[in-house]
A and B are shown apart, each in its own frame.
Chain A
Amino acid sequence: SQTIHQWPATLVQPVGSPLSLECTVEGTSNPNLYWYRQAAGRGLQLLFYSVGIGQISSEVPQNLSASRPQDRQFILSSKKLLLSDSGFYLCAWSRDEGDTQYFGPGTRLTVL
């Protein structure tokens, strides 16, 4: 069976510091991978998605970037965090772009 991991589970960072969140998927190959941000327990904002190694589509221009160095690894980064980067970050995978997405447990990021 497939599983998806995210770490860390929680993170508190000062404004201006760098960020690296990691997502890995087990039990499948060539997954489509997604990063979402959820603010204040409400709607999801799709940040990035990837259909293969090194292929990243950005949905919203902002202070964040994503990379996919390996088939089942997806990393969300920032060089300098802003207060507005605080939120709940969710990683998801699917077999195809429009197929069922399966979500990880999320990372709660607080920028102070």
Chain B
Amino acid sequence: AQSVAQPEDQVNVAEGNPLTVKCTYSVSGNPYLFWYVQYPNRGLQFLLKYITGDNLVKGSYGFEAEFNKSQTSFHLKKPSALVSDSALYFCAVRDLNSGNTPLVFGKGTRLSVIA
């Protein structure tokens, strides 16, 4: 079975400071990992994904995520937060050894960037 956890419901950060949104996963095989962002009353927007290769993945809007196999984590990061980054962020996982199954999404983390 595959699962993903976002341990923080809410993250607050001051504008200009670095931000981290945490995600941990559980799979029996190799993970396929994603980050999405959702602005109010909108659909989810794809930010970035990891399949294989470089553990540091760069995505849209200056976001990046680091895959850490030993800690089974895929934390989302940005060096300098903007007020416009305030949104709901979702991590998702799929076990590459599980056959054709849909992505499993975390419960979401609300990021608030304060000016």
| Closest residue on chain A to residue B46 by CB atoms | A100
Q: Are A98's CB and B102's CB within 8 A?
A: yes
Residues of B within 8 A of A100 (CB): 34, 46, 49
A73-112 CB contacts (< 8 Å) to partner B: 88, 90, 92, 96-98, 100-106, 108
Q: Are B43's CB and A106's CB within 8 A?
A: yes
B94-115 CB contacts (< 8 Å) to partner A: 94, 96, 98, 100-103, 105-108
Q: A43-B105, A100-B34, A108-B41 are in contact. List 11 more A-B contacts (CB 8 A).
A: A41-B88, A42-B88, A44-B105, A44-B108, A51-B100, A97-B102, A98-B100, A98-B102, A101-B103, A103-B36, A103-B44
Contact of B96 among A42, A90, A98, A102 (CB under 8 A): A98
Interface residues, chain B, CB within 8 Å of chain A?
A: 32, 34, 36, 40-46, 49, 88, 90, 92, 94, 96, 98, 100-103, 105-108
Q: How far is the CB of B25 from chain A (nearest CB, A)?
A: 14
Given contacts A100-B46, A106-B42, contact A43 B96 (CB under 8 A): no
Interface size on A, residues (CB 8 A): 23
Contact of A98 among B43, B46, B101, B105 (CB under 8 A): B101
CA distance A88 to B101 in the complex (A): 23
| Closest residue on chain B to residue A98 by CB atoms | B94
Residues of B within 8 A of A104 (CB): 43
